[in-house]
Amino acid sequence: MVAWCSAVTIAFASPETAAPLASAAQEAFASLDFAKAIDLMTRAIAEDPANPLLYANRGSCYDSLQKTTEALRDFDTAAQKTTDLSKNAKDPDLAPILYNRGIALVHAGRFKEAIADFEKSISVDEEFPDVRNELAWILATCSDASLRNPKKALELVLAETKRNGLHSPMAADTLAAAHAVNGKFEEAAKEEKAAIEQATSPLQLKKYQARLHLYENKKPFIEAASVEH
């Protein structure tokens, strides 16, 4: 799931005009009115075209509407403008941009590039949330067998669990998938049951129940396509 880049530490060049538009865009994004958020963020960009935060958050809006080409263009622009401003290729402000670009790349089926973005996001900010979970999911379940890395997937998700606990059904679901791809089906079933208990929607529940059935039959879950878990 894409994240709103609210923690990036970049000041507005036009605080009287761009900042209120960006704030209104954030409210629209939170209300799932992504088209309105794009319009507001586009107006904010017109007032403050050098601010990478604005492009990054418009990219999140585009990705939420499955407009992946537009999203990737905005994330590329945001990443470039961030490094242009800081002159630092390891700028921690890159972490949410790279994370969100990685999510968009997954949606585009460009898994190898997504892996690279998730790994770089970790390298610039080891504390950025959820990125290890997303990376572990690809390494455990990717439809491209050449990109799967069961051992690393399990290491990543166990590290994330140690840091933050199983704080969401997605975390438990990823831990289950990582156990399963390593042949640890009893552990996988146990964690998938935890995911089922935390499921927040009927669709999520259906997915988790289907995966539990696989694990109980000693089969790993492998993605058939670029589907967000």
Q: Which of 197, 184, 120 is nearest to 158 (CA)?
A: 184
Looking at 101, 128, 155, the residue that finishes a domain is 128
In this structure, the answer to whether residues 53 and 70 fall within a common structural domain is yes
Report the chain's mean pLDDT, rounded to a whole number: 91
Whole-prediction pTM: 0.90
Tell me the per-residue pLDDT of 109-150, one tens digit each, with 9 for 90 and over.
Answer: 999 999 999 999 999 999 888 999 999 999 999 999 999 999
Tell me the per-residue pLDDT of 47-95, one tens digit each, with 9 for 90 and over.
Answer: 999 999 999 999 999 999 999 999 999 999 999 999 999 999 999 999 9
The CATH number for 34's domain is: 1.25.40.10
Length of the chain: 229
Q: Angle, nearest 10°, between helix axes 131-141 and 94-107?
A: 30
Question: Where in the sequence is the domain holding 91, given as residue range(s)?
Answer: 17-128
In this structure, the answer to whether residues 74 and 118 fall within a common structural domain is yes
Distance in angstroms (rounded) separating the CA atoms of residues 53 and 37: 14
In this structure, the answer to whether residues 44 and 22 fall within a common structural domain is yes
Q: Which of 124, 201, 216 is nearest to 168 (CA)?
A: 201
Looking at 79, 107, 128, the residue that finishes a domain is 128
Determine, yes or no, domain membership for 207.
yes
60-96 residues labelled b (16+ CB within 10 A) or e (exposed)? bbbbbeebbebbbbbbebbbebbbeebeeeebbbbbb
Neighbours of 222 (CB within 10 A): 16
In this structure, the answer to whether residues 116 and 143 fall within a common structural domain is no
In this structure, the answer to whether residues 38 and 110 fall within a common structural domain is yes
Determine, yes or no, domain membership for 171.
yes
Tokens of 176: 């289950």
Determine, yes or no, domain membership for 190.
yes
Looking at 128, 157, 175, the residue that finishes a domain is 128
DSSP annotation of 181 reads H
Residue for token digits 């017109």?
46
Q: Which amino acid is at 42?
A: T
